[in-house]
Structure 1
Amino acid sequence: MDFNLRGAVIQNITGHNQEQLEHTILDAIQSGEEKMLPGLGVLFEVLWQEASENEKNEILETLEQGLKPHQQQ
């Protein structure tokens, strides 16, 4: 069985407005379910592909800062 997860996620959220997209993101994060991670990954891929170089740098800086508390000491 060949299943295109990326395509399914894109198809499922295409046409959603900002409020619906935010709800999808918050629901995925708050549920804490591992099965939601691929969908968030697809959303991140769309974000990255649409971002300018400056926006990509901001994303990377935000990720770096957000991961600092998780570093082992």
Structure 2
Amino acid sequence: MDINIRRAVIHNVSENNQDQLRDTIVDAMQKGEEKYLPGLGVLFEVIWQNADEQEKGMMLDTLENGLKQT
């Protein structure tokens, strides 16, 4: 069985507006279940691929600071 997680996640949210995307992300994080991590990873991959270098730097700063607080 060939399951393409990237394709499935993108297909499932490709028509969503910003509010729906936010709800998807927040819901997955609140549930805290491991099964949602691949989907969140796909969403982050889309963000990263569409960010310019300044935005990537800001994300890395946010990530670094967030990891220090955990």
TM-score (norm 2): 0.97
Residue 38 (structure 2) pairs with residue 32 (structure 1): no
- How much is the aligned-residue C-alpha RMSD, in angstroms? 0.6
Residue 39 (structure 2) pairs with residue 44 (structure 1): no
Aligned to 1:5: 5
Segments of 5+ residues of structure 2 without an aligned counterpart are: none
Aligned to 2:18: 18
Q: How many angstroms does 1:69 deviate by?
A: 2.2
Aligned to 2:67: 67
Secondary structure, in 3 states, of the residue corresponding to 1:24? helix
Secondary structure, in 3 states, of the residue corresponding to 2:40? helix
TM-score (norm 1): 0.93
Distance 1:47 1:5 in 2: 16
Q: Per chain length, whose mean CA-contact separation is higher, i.e. which structure has more relative contact order (CA < 8 Å, sep 6+)?
A: 2
Aligned to 1:53: 53
Moved over 2 A (4+): none
Give the counterpart letter for 1:11 in structure 2.
H
Q: How many angstroms does 1:7 deviate by?
A: 0.3
